Each structure stands twice: as structure tokens, then as C-alpha cells.
Amino acid sequence: MHTATLLVWTLLSAGQQEPSPAAGSQGPPTSPYVQPLPPEAVAPAKDDAPLFPLWGDKVRKAGFELPPALGVMVNYYYQKSSILISDLQLGVNNGPLHDASFIQFGDSTAHANALTIRPSFMLFPFLSFYTVVSSGNSVTEVNIVSPTTFTTKASSGAFVVSLGATAQFGYKGFFVVADFNGSVADVDRISDLMGSNLLSFRLGYNYRFGKPGQSFSFWLGTSGQVIGLETHGSVKLADVIPPPSQAAIDAINAKCAEYRPNDPRAQACMDFAGKLQDWRNGTDPAASVQYALNKEPKDVWNMLAGVQYALDRNWYFRVEVGFLGSRTSVLVGTEYRFDI
């Protein structure tokens, strides 16, 4: 899973109050195969060469070594990110949705992790395709700053499927990688599937050791996550906010009184305050709330840095971190590649 997909999960809590991943999920993010094509003294005989990637014989005759075409990678991914929440609408007990902009959000921070499986296929020496299947969870801390002040945490799980493509180019140990993927996430307590996209670029160098296929790579890059903005879902009040105090309910009622009767925010405000009062009085502790909202990452882009050790032509071990901006992440993975 990628960084955008994971951020999708992190944004869930906003709807309960996310991503989706990013990310991100993205999720966990998918990290493209970055083994460059270093010079090789002797190219394999044509009869011994694998079928894929296509045009591989021409590349080998030019003096380059190609990695095996098929790979299966297993990754663990962790991401911490900030999200922005807006255009909140609320309904209670399956009633109509009303403008709930009387609720103002402060900083919201999400922590997400996932385990992913990523099979990949190199069709051409410069182009690979892959899919990512991942499962994980997120915990989002949401701060409400008006009409009352409190902090709540919401946890959710998600199952994510991603499809992506990687363009890779190498020359004399240097390499450039461009990667794009799209994800669809099935997130707990969100009624619709959530989509996200991830675009990333990496520039690095590969140092070869004496053993065939053994090398050490390092790179820097950047990654951008775009999450589907609109989210719908349903939650129980007791699952997403702490038991309300009478002072908090009174503050919400005071806010409701500021709106004119024909203001669309007034109805949502009064319905919400009424359900909180019922909860406090013990008459409706299982009240459900339907919601719709927009959410997005606080920062679309962040930086990447990573290393990879190739034990031989088959086994690869990778670590990549994301930093700067409001999103940080860590990916740890291993991959096995084989010829066909």
C-alpha cells in the first residue's frame, strides 16, 4: 500500500469527528523498484536470456544488466500526517443532513500503519506495472475548537487495492524513477469507497559490489498525495466523542441561539445539541450521526530519502522515509525477484 492510501484511512476520523491512505495512502505507499542498469562486461547468450522484459536482449547487448522481470515485495508502512476538515454536514438517526459549519476544527493529526503485498512486472526495461493489496488501521486525533473545546480520537481499519506504473532509467550507476498509482479503499464506517492518487519522483545512485547482482542504492525524491475530497458515513456519538458535560451542551445551545430560524445551520445545531442532551440524560446513549464532509492533506508534497541493498539478483531490502511538511513516514520492505 502507498502513502496516499494510508492517508485515506487517517482522514476517516475526520468523518467521525480521516486518508488515505494517503495515502498515502497512500497508504502505505508503494515504493518503485529502483535498481538501475549498471554496465556488465559480458551479456548472457541470447538462448539463455529470459523472455521479459521485452527488448531486454538489446539492452543487455549494449552492456547493461537487467533485474529479473517479476517481483513480490512485502512492506510495512507507518505514516503521521495532518489533515484539514471543512464543509461538515450532520444528520441524526438517519435524518436529513444540514450545514454544521458551527463546528470548527483545529489541528487534526493521524497515525496510520499497514502491511502490504506488492507484485510487480517489468514489461519493458524502462516501464514496470504493479498492484498493491494492503490492510491496516489508523488513529486520528481531532481537536474541536468551537462552539466547545475538546479532543477526541477515532480508530478505523481499511482494505486497499492499488494499481500503478513505474518509469525507470539508469546510466553509469545513476537512475531516475517516476511512479504513479491510484487506490481504492474500503474504510470502516465510511459508506462509499474512497479514492486516492500518488505521484512520486526519485533520483539516486547505485554502487555495485564484486558479487554479480550485489549492490547498494540510495536516493532522494518527492511524493505528492491527492485524496478524494468528499466523504459520507455514519457513526455512534459514543464512538467518536467523549461524554458531554452540561457546560459543553450549554455552549452549543448558546451557539444555536445566535442563528436566525431560517439559517440552515440552526437546525443542525439544535439537532446535535438535543442528541447530546439525550445522551447526558441517559435516554438515547446509542444515537447515530450521519455526516458528510470534505477533507484533504494539509500538505500535498513532502520529501523522500531511501536506501536499498541487493544481496544478489533475487533478494532486495529497502528502507525509505518521508519528511518535511506535515507528513512523515517510514517504509521497510523486502522483495524477491525472478526471471520468466
Give 226-295 as a DSSP string.
Answer: EE-SEEEEEEEHHHHSPPPPHHHHHHHHHHHHTS-TT-HHHHHHHHHHHHHHHHHHTS-TT-EEEEEEEE
* Helix or strand run (H / E) with residue 20: strand 20-23
Residue 26 DSSP code = B
Three-state DSSP class for residue 304:
strand
- Residue 240: the pLDDT is 74
98-99/215-227 β-pairing: unpaired
The per-residue pLDDT for range 257-301, each reduced to its tens digit, is 999 888 888 988 998 888 888 888 877 655 678 888 888 889 999
* pLDDT above 70 for 314: yes
The CA distance from 49 to 32, in Å, is: 24
Would you state the pLDDT for residue 264?
Answer: 84
* CA dihedral of 289, 152, 160, 192, whole degrees rounded to 10: 20
In the numeric block, the cell 486497499 is attached to: 160
Q: State which residues form the domain around 122.
A: 3-338
- By CB atoms closer than 10 A (0-12, 13-18, 19+), residue 157 is middle
Q: Name the pTM for this structure.
A: 0.79
What is the predicted pLDDT for the residue at 189? 65
Q: How many structural domains are present in the chain?
A: 1
Per the DSSP assignment, residues forming a β-bridge with 318 are 308, 333
Per-residue pLDDT tens digits for 225-236: 887 667 777 877
